[in-house]
Chains A and B, each alone.
Chain A
């Protein structure tokens, strides 16, 4: 197990950064990258942009985006230790019931209220995120406080890590890894963005500021390698979605409807992965929400953009799983790409 990545991911995962208040995560990241980059700017939204100068005399400017925020709740009222909330980001209510949360800057412990089956008086359906309630015991919360899931970071077996918010912090950890490594021919322009979960808002302003020659979005892609989906060719459900395996390598996202990744940059990335012997998978997503790739590619007069996904099981739950080798392979692929990117590959 890569101890450095493991330690970094643990601290990032345990930090709290619900959309709109990513300051704790931002501070952690800044501490780690500040000696490696110049032109550090925290923009009005709260995203970090910076530059790690390239070794080429005329370097291409390559933006790499990873979002810092996680889903959570906002307190809308609190009385006698029971807080009403609204959801921030997309919640899967099946994950939420009876989970631990921490509320506000004081990290007051709480529980998402869920009546046990013998006391639920026939209520069987799960509440919507906006109808959920937090039980604070004797504690209290202020209207406007954010609540985040509490995870418990753990190493599972040889390669797997478990924790909360891995869908944002695993990409952050890879991007930090890249910045701590040797300079590449390209100018690396990291963007640690805010408010992804409420409409890819930070990516928009970060891309506008940087106006790079090209952009790579690092994100999580949900694995579907568990039964029955994992049993593809014999299963009735075969191939409704691309198969993404934990440990199968970075997922090159061909399309993330409605956004289609840049044709030539996508192909270059696939070729480089093949040449370098880096395992990879291909994903094609049909999403209803706005993504960072969509927003960045349509910024200003257009930016050639591709999306690379790190496979995560149970993403946006308090217990996501990643395979540390996927993080290493993603970092390796980004290094190869940073070394081999040409202006030609960015043409249409």
Chain B
């Protein structure tokens, strides 16, 4: 089963888009003895090669999380912010934001208490409260913050911030652990990417540098199994989700079918993922160079982009197994 301690280490780490270095250091420590070669490219992506020969397969999971950038702070210590990636106003009020130096800011809303405002509030109506904490010395304009909350485990469910997409990183690391010492048919590039949340930017440049024959993104996908849910195709606890399409990416049928075939022959529970909002690193990789066949294995997740994202450990395990099934054996033509 997936390593819960590793999940906690990564989800509780700090790393908004463009500022992934703390997460990268943690991952580098985990994979140091697993990869044959490790480097960090100009885009900040951590690129880990395993094996040689066969086809070059890139496996991408992004290290960054959504965040905040402070653009004004008043003398009392109330700061205003712009967003890094998709912050939604309905998820903010009362949350906590951690800065790079560890300072905690509470997210407040202009004019509270007023129970009716949250629904109509826009980002500009929120502030971060650093009052009483020496804000004038310790917070400055341009500082970057991330949501903060610790992880909980309940049964087979993990509830935490930043499972998008540290859980993808965990799937990759777990696969690397199990592939260590295995005779590989392909050259595997496990890439821990940057700046996914602000436009799938790290994946694009790392794919250019690697020029793989095929790529697989590991990322979360929302589920349709909560009350009155719409616009999603997968359910939590029902297995690895093989992407067919999302808002930025149509998976080539050959790639999708290869994954289905491998899942079926290995008896791995799977479901088909059609995501109507958002996309993954695979969308950028697909259009790199003269085109790279790209697919994605999605981890079903509820409450994405909140501090309480939820995944099921059985799904995570299925994703690890499916990834290994797809990459360790020779590829049929894709």
Contacts and interface: CB of A to CB of B under 8 A. Distances in A.
Given A257-B84, A346-B42, A284 B205 contact: no
Contact of B141 (A242, A258, A261): A242
A83 B51 CA distance: 65
Contacts of B40: 347-348
A297 B24 CA distance: 19
A260 B71 contact: no
A263 interface: yes
Contacts of B330: none
A348 B201 contact: no
Interface stretch (A55-63, A99-107, A298-306, A334-342): A298-306
Nearest to B204: A298
Contact of A302 (B19, B124, B142, B206): B206
A242 B84 contact: no
Contacts of A286: 82-83
Contacts of B69: 254-255, 260, 284
A302 B46 CA distance: 13
B82 A238 contact: no
A303 B42 contact: yes
A332 to B, nearest CB: 20
A301 B83 contact: no
B115 interface: no
A95 interface: no
B95 interface: no
Nearest to A236: B110
B205 A255 contact: no
A232 B72 contact: yes
Given A260-B18, A261-B18, A348-B24, A283 B71 contact: yes
A243 interface: yes
Contact of B205 (A238, A254, A263, A300): A300
A261 B44 CA distance: 12
Nearest to A253: B142
Interface centre among B44, B45, B74, B142 (most CB of A within 10 A): B142
B129 to A, nearest CB: 13
B199 A252 contact: no
Interface residues of B, number: 39
Interface in B140-158: 140-142, 144
Contacts of B204: 298
Interface centre among A242, A346, A348 (most CB of B within 10 A): A348
Interface string A301-329: 11110000000000000000000000000
Interface residues of A, number: 37
A192 interface: no
A239 interface: yes
A258 B206 contact: no
B84 A260 contact: yes
Interface in B9-27: 17-19, 21, 24
Contacts, number: 109
B331 interface: no
A239 B71 contact: yes
Contacts of B256: none
Contacts of A240: 80, 124
A259 B64 CA distance: 13
A257 B83 contact: yes
Given A233-B74, A259-B198, A254 B142 contact: yes
B161 to A, nearest CB: 19
A241 B70 CA distance: 10
A239 B74 contact: yes
A30 interface: no
B206 A301 contact: yes
B72 A238 contact: yes
Contacts of B82: 255, 257, 284-286
B84 A301 contact: no
Given A257-B83, A286-B83, A252 B142 contact: yes
Interface of A: 232-233, 238-243, 252, 254-255, 257-263, 266, 270, 282-286, 294, 297-304, 346-348
Top-10 shortest CB links A-B: A302-B43, A260-B18, A302-B205, A239-B72, A301-B209, A239-B80, A242-B71, A348-B44, A258-B198, A302-B42
9 contacts: A239-B127, A241-B71, A242-B71, A282-B140, A284-B141, A301-B43, A302-B44, A302-B45, A347-B40
